[in-house]
Structure 1
Amino acid sequence: MKKPQKIDVIALLPELDKMLFKLLEGLSDDDWDKQTIVPKWKVKDIAVHLLDGNYRTLSMLRDNYYGEKPEAINSYADLLDFLNKLNADWVKATKRLSPKVIIDLLKSSGKEYCDFLAILNPDDKAEFSVAWAGESESKNWFHIAREYTEKWHHQQQIRLAVGEEKELLKEKWHLPYLDTSVRALPHHYRDVKGEAEDLVKFTFLGKTEKSWFLYYEKGWELLTSISAEPKSEVRIRNEYAWKIFTKGMTREEAIKSSEIIGDKRLGEKIFDMIAVMA
């Protein structure tokens, strides 16, 4: 059996940004106002949310300036409420910005953002843990990979709205997204009862197939390979995986569009997994 390795996406982040800039520069006025898969956000709203991510990272992690600090955060739900309010306030305040201003700001802040992440020691403790993976403390490499998934899925939301979603499903971009997101599986399955040596296989179907495994031995452990027969296999098409992990489709829609072979109880649990702060 083989365990997951560190994820290194530092070189991909500037390239991902350049793809975003090119996409946004080609949008019409009507495209900027198109509804996205996020109920309350249009294309422009997601673009400014990405801008907020750049500025917030630079302010807090580079400049040690936290601005509005949360009060009375006693649970994961409290943290989500605080973050959702920050996001809503920012989107409302930036309504007055033009698309050109937004693109220019994304370009300048994006370079600073990528330059800053590149100087972090990947094995040092991250300022913020990856909470959706159940970690109270994370390494910088995981924090940076989490940042990649944020930029990836928000750009994909824009692409879906304007009919350009296929580009980010190419393996170069999609596999790092999947490899990061599935790190939430052991935490997500923590309350699922298993028996010794139970094995659940998760296969994502794109141009090629990519699989990860959950193995039970006093708890669930994520593996990238194992020579054993799975008790349950879940087969998910690439174009649906990111929607499942970001609340972009209902559990019922996800199950209907996928295939479970073997134990359905073990397999179906993945369909309510969230790999974002949402």
Structure 2
Amino acid sequence: MIPVDTRPLFPQERQALLELLATLDTEQWAKPTVCPGWAVRDVTAHILNDYVRRISGNRDRYAGAAFTAGESLPAYLTRVNEEFVQAMRQCSPQTMIDLLAHLGPQLDQVWAATDLSGPAHLDVSWAGPGASPAWLDIAREYTEFWVHQQQIRDAVARPGADSVALMHPVLVTFLHALPYALRDHARPAGTAITVEITGPAGGRWNVVNNGAAWILTAAPADDMVATLRTNQDTLWRLASRGITVDQARHRTELRGDRVLTDAATTLLAVVA
């Protein structure tokens, strides 16, 4: 893994979001987004839901809503997210902006008090089974806020919040889904795939098999059997399923072991 400390970025990302939301008119708040059935106001409410949920869970150790009998994690999240969004439709845009501005610094304090090397409060299932480190849990939350802001920007045709400082950590965090995407494809120890992401926020990484599992690393690798070259926009949209796997493959230069490149381009960094 490649540890990423995203804690200093939350206030910057939130400020960009608040400044954007403050400029939207009634029609823009009602614009549809890539999230099925959700308008801009609903995605904003969902971000607020995440603030409330993490402050309540991490800081206050409050268990919150319960699973229904036989309910899977994806089904649970879909249900409670929709319930919150529907309830927030009675609140004005300004009320949601005020709540985000009020609760955001409290969430920043939660992250600041977290030991990055300790266990995650919520494990990151898309990075693999078992326990996750706290830094990855926090980075996952950062990517969610950033992606939702981009979805709002797309809906109202406002580019931005995509500086290298804000976007590069999103890409690195999403790449931690690659080893899990390759989990069913065993290869000899030392076998490696290179991933090159073009654009100012991009870079070059390797996913190397250690004989038992695939590992994401920035270190050089010798036995390179495949390469993927794509741009930064394609990578984050693929990982968050803003585009399909087929669309991503058409936008990506794939070379070498096709089984591995096909598997790598199914990487998914959201719970589904």
Classify the TM-score, shorter chain.
Answer: over 0.9
Mapping 1:94-113, distance limit 5 Å: 94-113=88-107
Query: 1:191 maps to what in 2?
Result: 184
CA drift at 1:73:
5.8
**Which sits farther off after the overlay, 208-217 or 23-32?**
208-217
Query: 1:39 maps to what in 2?
Result: 36
8 Å CA contact retained: 1:169, 1:238: no
8 Å CA contact retained: 1:169, 1:239: no
SS in structure 1 at match of 2:265: helix
Match of 2:171 among 175, 178, 185: 178
Letter aligned with residue 238 of structure 1: Q
Give the unaligned 5+ runs of structure 2: none
Query: 1:13 maps to what in 2?
Result: 10
SS in structure 1 at match of 2:234: helix
Question: Using the alignment, how far apart are the partners of 1:241 and 1:17 within structure 2?
Answer: 22
TM-score by length of 1: 0.92
Query: 2:222 maps to what in 1?
Result: 228
Percent of residue pairs bearing the same amino acid type: 31
Question: Using the alignment, how far apart are the partners of 1:253 and 1:190 within structure 2?
Answer: 22
8 Å CA contact retained: 2:168, 2:201: no
Root mean square deviation of aligned Cα: 1.7
Match of 1:52 among 38, 42, 49: 49
Matched length: 271
CA drift at 1:252:
1.2
- Cα pair distance change 1:255/1:211, threshold 3 Å: same
Higher helix share: 1
Cα deviation digits, residues 108-161 of structure 1 (max 9, x gap): 011111112111122222221111111421222121111111111111111111
Give the unaligned 5+ runs of structure 1: none
Cα deviation digits, residues 158-203 of structure 1 (max 9, x gap): 11112223x2332111110011111121122110232343211111
Letter aligned with residue 262 of structure 2: E
SS in structure 2 at match of 1:169: coil
SS in structure 2 at match of 1:235: strand
Letter aligned with residue 260 of structure 1: L
